[in-house]
Structure 1
Amino acid sequence: MVSVRPSRRALVTGLAALVTGVLPNRASAGTNAYYQGPVSDHFDGTRFFNPGSQDEDRGLVDVLRWQLGSRATAWPGALPATVPDLPPARLEKGRCRVSFIGHASFLVQVDGLNILLDPVWSERASPLAFAGPARHTAPGIAFDSLPPIDAVLVSHSHYDHMDLRTLGRLWRRDRPRIIVPLGNDAIIRGADPTIVVESGDWNDRVRLNPRVVVHFRRTHHWSARGLTDRRHALWASFVIEAPGGGIYFVGDTAFGDGNTFREVGRAHPRLRLALLPIGGYAPRWFMKDQHMNPAEAVEAFRLCGAQQAVGHHWGTFRLTDEGYDEPPRDLAAALAQAGMPDQSFAALLPGSVVQLGAS
């Protein structure tokens, strides 16, 4: 393993920590920047939380321990070239096509609809235009090659999942339905008050057409855009129920006790595809409460009962210590250990397409 020099590492890791919401919160007690609503089993009146969890909130001391004490594997200077996808304008009803754009961004074309998941086309996943995690691979679909977008699902507020610049471009171009967990609507409207955003809580559902329904599902994560709004907006996964079966999208999650995946498997027994994160897991002591590693992702795949899975959240933005190709290598090892075939759970490159066929 190759160390990153502490001076450079302090900047890179500090900004990555901000992106992933691990810096300490300084909000005053009893205030929420984005959401006001009733107390629930995952909202205490001020902040959202993971029910039944003993998560350890990481603070500045932990960030310094990470950046000064761990050893990061260097990424190669040049990554494998990929061929961008050129998706069709529409698919006929009953067909499904999923294109991997990069990191956690996907285009799902199903039942005549075009749905974007966590779309990020910016060059940095950062609050700063000149610093922070930079894109190492081009998007798997050029923005101008996107078909007309009907709906956008955003899982949570971290910069590598909620890209306000991209959302603004999509809104100005297509006026899609933008669907987010509670509180994230206020973040988007704060950037552009003209954008119409629909928000929902865990277990809510939104109908996109007579045959396609989006379900908000519980996931184990957190949220922040800065130093004063930690857990002020909810995080969620989504299940897109459509003819032929469901597509389960997890933008970010820890494995936790595994119950989030069991719940989805029970509620949606006909999942044909799970989009699961496999990167952002090192060092494990720091990341275990927010990101799965590949072995945990394999177990999540088993628990949710999907027919096949695709691994994402790797190889585009460097946020943590593992090397560029460690997530797919660790995924292959975990599949072998579990006795599952390699083709059942693929780590795709941007521009890759999964065709799910007719219902």
Structure 2
Amino acid sequence: MGDAGSSSKAHHKRNNDGFQNPWESFRKESAKLSVSIMSKSTKKEPSKVDIAALQLLAQRPNFSLAEPAFRETRKNVGVTWIGHNTFVLQLFGLTVLTDPNFSMKASSPFVLNPGGVKRIVPPPCKIADLPTIDVVVISADRTDKLDKATIKELGNRCKYLVPLKVGQTLESFGISKDNIIELDWWEDYTQNGVRIVSCPSQYTSGTMCVDGKSSSALWCSWAFLGVRSRVFYCGASGYRSCKRGQTFLPYKERLETPPCPAFAEIGSKLGPFDTAFLPIGNYSPRHLISSLMMDPMDATCAHRDLQARQSVAHGWGTFNLGGDEDTLDALRLLEEAMMMVGLSDSEFLVQNHGTTKVLY
């Protein structure tokens, strides 16, 4: 393993007592209050029309579609969206599963939902139908990204790359310590000739500490560096903090608020990226959750910071974990954001559940 960037450990608390977001863009009051206030909020239920439309558009994955391209050229990337934050990435001769969740219910770390939130679109395939998985990457120790039932079924057939202190949760699920690689920000691991780098993001993981700004485990995003192209995956992250009463701020007004500098740093050190995977949903209520979850406008800004040629949206249309957004609001706001920022349709893609695409 190596260190791909700065040796600074500003994200480590003193005395090795957890991890923190070291930037001005993180507002600890927002993160601390989100659990206590959002737990009392009323969630919107997905409309039957939206559910029917998403289920109708879902497809069965065609993993063989990408096989020749990603194994022979080691440049093209096969992308299959399972739902939420879960992708099967066939890239550079390596098959990666991101934040795997095949369960029919999920719990939000920020909204109290006893029993979990029901999945809107069922998984388009079974775990047994997946191609051989070489690596699973986990972005945070959160139940929607580190699903116990899914991990137990995947078992010890692959390597698990996780942020620091997340390995103990995997071990409790039955994963052998020999199959777990824990990485700090900017550390890397190479498999099948692909360099995989643990990168910063603005989030929380494990147990939230009493100070309201730190966690017991680390969180991260991931970069995959091949010989001919580069791919970035962000499971979840905040970007700018909003004040009470602020919702979908226009682009120019957002420039007055400091962004999370991590994405520009990643773009500078490891980019430009051919493809980036960025979350756009479960972003409400804005003034409470903005420190931890970007909205579609933030995602378009992160896209530019990363110097990405194109991005793919995720984190929408699978679990309604946010407080007061409709199922398809993220797509409407993404379209509006792209017009404001000046991105073309080819620069920020939206996939249906189960679809397999080969990106060039």
The reply to whether TM is greater than 0.5 is yes
- Alpha-carbon separation, structure 1, partners of 2:31 and 2:261: 27
More off after superposition, 306-315 vs 159-168: 159-168
Which moved further from structure 2: 98-107 or 39-48? 39-48
Aligned pair partner of 1:56 in 21, 24, 28: 28
**1:161 aligned partner:** 145
Counterpart Cα distance in 2 of 1:307 and 1:62: 34
Match of 2:104 in 1: 123
SS at match of 2:106: coil
Q: Give the structure 2 partner of residue 3 of structure 1.
A: none
Pair 1:100–1:261, CA change in 2 (3 A): same
Pairs within 5 Å for 1:299-318:
299-318=301-320
Write the distance in 1 (CA, Å) between the matches of 2:174 and 2:159: 15
Structure 1 segments of 4 or more deviating over 6 A?
A: 127-130, 226-230
Equivalent of 2:277 in 272, 275, 278 = 275
**Matches of 1:189 and 1:292 in 2, distance apart?**
30
Residue 216 (str. 1) matches residue 198 (str. 2):
yes
- Structure 1 residues 106 and 158, CA, compared in 2 at 3 Å: closer, same or farther? same
- The answer to whether structure 1 residue 354 and structure 2 residue 337 are counterparts is no
Q: Look up the match of 2:224.
A: 240
Name which of structure 1's ranges 81-90 and 56-65 shifts more when overlaid on structure 2: 56-65
What is the CA distance between 1:308 and its match in structure 2?
0.3
- Does the 8 A contact of 1:84 with 1:142 survive in 2? no
Find the aligned partners of 2:36 and 2:188 in 1 and give their Cα distance.
Answer: 41
Shift of 1:345: 0.5
Is the CA contact 2:78–2:359 (under 8 Å) kept in the aligned structure 1?
A: yes
- SS state at 1:261 partner: helix
User: Which of 77, 84, 88 in structure 2 is aligned with 1:103?
Assistant: 84
TM-score (norm 1): 0.81
The 1:351/1:43 distance shift into structure 2, 3 A limit, reads: same
Q: CA deviation at 1:130?
A: 7.9
State which of 147, 162, 171 in structure 2 corresponds to 1:189.
Answer: 171
What count of residue pairs does the alignment treat as equivalent? 316
State percent identity of aligned pairs: 27
Alpha-carbon distance between aligned partners in 1 of 2:32 and 2:265, rounded to the nearest angstrom: 34
CA separation in 2, counterparts of 1:146 and 1:170? 10
Aligned residue number for residue 292 of structure 2? 290
State the secondary structure of the residue aligned to 2:63: coil
Stretch moving more, 184-193 or 244-253: 184-193
1:137 is aligned to 2:121: yes
Which amino acid letter does the alignment assign opposite residue 279 of structure 1? Answer: G
Q: Which 10-residue stretch deviates more, 317-326 or 344-353?
A: 344-353
Corresponding residue to 2:18 among 47, 52, 55: 47
Calculate the TM-score normalised by the size of structure 2. 0.80
Structure 2: how far apart are the matches of 1:47 and 1:226?
Answer: 9
Question: Aligned pair 1:86/2:62, yes or no?
Answer: yes
Q: Give the letter aligned to residue 349 of structure 1.
A: N
Q: Which stretch shifts more, 197-206 or 131-140?
A: 131-140
Task: Name the CA distance, whole Å, in 1 between partners of 2:31 and 2:134.
Answer: 39
The answer (yes or no) to whether the contact 1:100–1:348 under 8 Å persists in 2 is yes
The 3 A distance-change label for structure 1 pair 285 and 59 is: closer
Code of the residue aligned with 1:52 in structure 2: it is W
Q: How far is the alpha carbon of 1:84 from its aligned partner?
A: 1.6
Contact 1:93 1:110 in 2 (8 A): no
Shift of 1:129: 12
Following TM superposition, by how much is the alpha carbon of 1:232 offset from its aligned partner in structure 2, in angstroms?
A: 0.8
Could you say which residue in structure 2 is the equivalent of 1:17?
Answer: none
Equivalent of 1:264 in 249, 263, 266? 266
Give how far 1:176 is off. Answer: 0.6
Distance in 1 (CA, whole Å) between partners of 2:227 and 2:359 is: 11
| SS of alignment partner, residue 357 of structure 2 | strand
Question: Could you tell me how far apart the structure 2 residues matched to 1:47 and 1:136 are?
Answer: 35
Distance apart, 1:67 and its partner CA? 5.3
Partner of 1:198: 181
Within a 5 Å distance, the mapping from 1:322-341 to structure 2 comes to 322-341=325-344
CA distance in 2: counterparts of 1:267 and 1:61, whole angstroms: 34
Task: Confirm or deny that 1:345 pairs with 2:324.
Answer: no
Deviation at 1:225, TM superposition (A): 5.7
Query: Given that residues 151 and 173 in structure 2 are in contact (C-alpha distance below 8 angstroms), is that contact kept between their aligned partners in structure 1?
Result: no
The answer on whether the counterparts of 2:30 and 2:287 sit within 8 Å (CA) in structure 1 is no
1:112 equivalent in alignment to 2:93: yes
**Residue type of the alignment partner of 2:11:** H
- Aligned pair in 2 of structure 1 residues 226, 241: CA closer, same or farther (>3 Å)? same
Partner SS, residue 156 of structure 1: coil
Q: In the alignment, is the contact (CA less than 8 A) between 1:72 and 1:323 conserved in 2?
A: no
Aligned partner of residue 240 in structure 1, secondary structure: strand
Taking the aligned partners of 1:117 and 1:52, their CA distance within structure 2 comes to 26
Q: What's the secondary structure of 1:235's corresponding residue?
A: coil
- Give distance in 1, aligned partners of 2:31 and 2:298: 25
Any idea what the Cα deviations from partners look like across 1:157-196, whole Å, max 9, x if unmatched?
1111111221221124xx2111000000011112225352
State the Cα distance separating 1:324 from its structure 2 match. 0.4
| Aligned 8 A contact 1:86 1:141 in 2 | no
1:254 corresponds to: 238
Structure 1 position 176 matched with structure 2 position 178: no
